[in-house]
Amino acid sequence: MHDSGVPILALILEDLEAAQRRDPAARSKWEVALAYPGVHALWVHRVAHRMWNSSKVRGRLRLPARLISQAARALTGIEIHPGAVIGRRMFIDHGMGVVIGETAEVGEDVVIFHGTTLGGVSMSTGKRHPTVGDRVTIGAGAKVLGPVTLGADSRIGANAVVVKDVSPDTSAVGVPAREINRPGPVPEPEKWLDPAIYI
């Protein structure tokens, strides 16, 4: 789940490939690199996250990391706290209004649509934001609140409000979200036709 130790350039190339593979509107890696705010926010986060966790300077880079993340928020409309752990090949589609809290953990190959919040329900310290498994898709406007876990290959419907764990290989829709069981993982082409994403 963690990308520490992977060269930044390798992560950048992976991010470009992931966006181009997942968005049929992406015509080239250059277009993604220059015009995709979700990719820009992710790149800035990767730098800010390494600053946030730098042990060599005993936390002295945490304020600059926050300032960098806030600059990215102003430019992209996407707020990712530098303390959040983001896995490889995540794709934020459109991106405007996405918020990812400090103790959130996001797995690999995750897709998040605009207006999504990975937020907390408590003002206490400690783990207070969601953990998102690998290959999860979170629909537009969904709110995932508290230290809940979204199992691998789960799908969260648009505008769902998730306040409890979601099992792997299921869809969750509604307010509050309820699971709709489906057998086995969803093949990649079918995933984008899943109506639960757009409800």
pLDDT digits (tens, 9 = 90+) for 32-54: 999 999 999 999 999 999 899 88
Residue 76 sits in a domain whose CATH number is: 2.160.10.10
Distance of CA 144 to the CA centre of its chain: 11
**Residue 176, preceding bond cis, omega within 30 degrees?**
yes
Note the pLDDT of residue 95.
86
Give the pTM: 0.85
3 domain residue, yes or no: no
Distances (CA, A) of 17 to 11, 26, 108, 196: 10, 10, 14, 25
Does residue 85 form part of some domain?
A: yes
Q: What are phi and psi of 13, to 5 degrees?
A: -65, -40
The count of structural domains within the chain is 1
Sign of CA dihedral 133, 94, 127, 196: negative
Tell me the β-bridge partners of 173. 178
Tell me, what's the pLDDT at 44? 95
Q: Which of 160-164, 177-181, 192-196 has the highest mean pLDDT?
A: 160-164
Is 132 a domain residue?
yes
> Within its chain, how far is the Cα of 14 from the centroid?
15
Q: What angle do CA 147, 195, 190 make, to 5 degrees?
A: 95
- The answer to whether residue 73 is domain-embedded is yes
Residue 182: Cβ within 10 Å count: 15
- Domain for residue 2, yes or no? no
Cα 193 to Cα 177: distance, rounded to the nearest angstrom: 20
- Residue 104: domain span: 8-197
Query: Distance between CA atoms of 90 and 110, rounded to whole angstroms?
Result: 5
Would 149 be classed as within a structural domain?
A: yes
Residue 135 lies in a domain: yes
